[in-house]
Structure 1
Amino acid sequence: MKDYLVKALAFDGTIRAYAVRSTEAVAEVQRRHAMWPTATAALGRSMTAAVMMGAMVKGEDKLTIKIDGGGPIGSMIIDANAHGEVRGYATNPQTHFDLNDQGKLDVRRAVGTDGLLTIVKDLGLRDFFTGQVPIVSGEIAEDFTEYFVVSEQVPSAVGLGVLVNPDNTAKAAGGFIIQVMPGATDETIGKLEERIANVEPISKLIDRGLTPEEILGEVLGAENVEILDRMDVTFTCNCSRERFGNAIIGLGEQEIQAMIDEDGKAEAHCHFCLETYEYPKEELEGFIREIRSES
Structure 2
Amino acid sequence: MSDRLHRFLFEHADVRGEVVQLDDAFAEIVRRTDHEPAVVRLIGEGLAAVALLAATLKYPCALTLQLQARGPLTLLLVQAASDGSLRAMAHARQPVPDDAPLDAQASDGTLAITIEPESGGERYQGVVDLAGGSLSAALEHYFRESEQLLTRVWLSAREDHAAGMLIQRLPASEVAGGDADAWSRAEQLAATITGHELRELAPGEVIRRLFHEEDIRLFDPMPFRFRCRCSRERVAAMLQGLGEQEMREILEEQGQVEVHCDFCNEPYRFDAVDIEALFTDPAVRSPDSGESH
Q: Same fold (TM over 0.5)?
A: yes
Aligned amino acid, residue 90 of structure 2: A
Which whole-Å CA distance do the structure 2 matches of 1:283 and 1:28 have between them? 30
176-185 or 150-159, larger mean C-alpha shift? 176-185
Structure 2 partner of 1:248: 239
| 1:214-270, Cα deviation, whole Å (9 max, x unpaired) | 223334446432112311121221111122112223344454444445544322211
Moved more, 250-259 or 176-185: 250-259
1:82–1:241: structure 2 CA closer, same or farther, 3 Å change rule? same
1:190, CA displacement in angstroms?
A: 2.1
Using structure 1 for the length normalisation, give the TM-score. Answer: 0.84
Give the whole-Å Cα distance in 2 for the aligned partners of 1:218 and 1:116: 35
Equivalent pair of 1:69/1:138 in contact (CA under 8 Å):
no
Match of 2:256 among 257, 261, 265: 265
Match of 1:148 among 140, 143, 154: 143
1:42 corresponds to: 42
Which residues of 2 match residues 5-44 of structure 1 at below 5 A?
5-12=5-12, 14-44=14-44
Within the candidate set 176, 191, 198, 2:185 is matched to 191
Match of 1:234 in 2: 225
Tell me which amino acid in the other structure corresponds to 2:148.
Q
Larger Rg belongs to: 2
Cα shift readout 1:81-133 (whole Å, capped 9, x = no counterpart): 112211112103984545xxxxxx22526533522001111114262101001
Structure 2, gaps ≥5 residues long: 285-293
Judged with a 3 Å threshold, the aligned counterparts in structure 2 of structure 1 residues 221 and 145 are, in CA distance, closer, same or farther, namely: farther
CA RMSD of aligned residues (A): 2.6
Letter in 1 for 2:273: E
Percent sequence identity is 28
1:205 is aligned to 2:197: yes
**Equivalent residue number for residue 53 of structure 2:** 53
| Structure 1 unpaired stretches of 5+ | 99-104, 164-169
- 8 Å Cα contact 1:7/1:228 also seen in 2: yes
Report if aligned partners of 2:15, 2:169 keep a CA contact under 8 Å in 1: yes
**1:173 aligned residue:** 162
Secondary structure in structure 2 of the residue aligned to 1:130: strand
Helix, strand or coil for the counterpart of 1:75?
strand
The Cα offsets for residues 59-101 of structure 1, whole Å up to 9 and x where unpaired, read as 6510111112433122111111112211112103984545xxx
What is the SS of the residue equivalent to 2:52? helix
Distance 1:12 1:277 in 2: 54
Q: Aligned to 1:41, what secondary structure does the other structure show?
A: helix
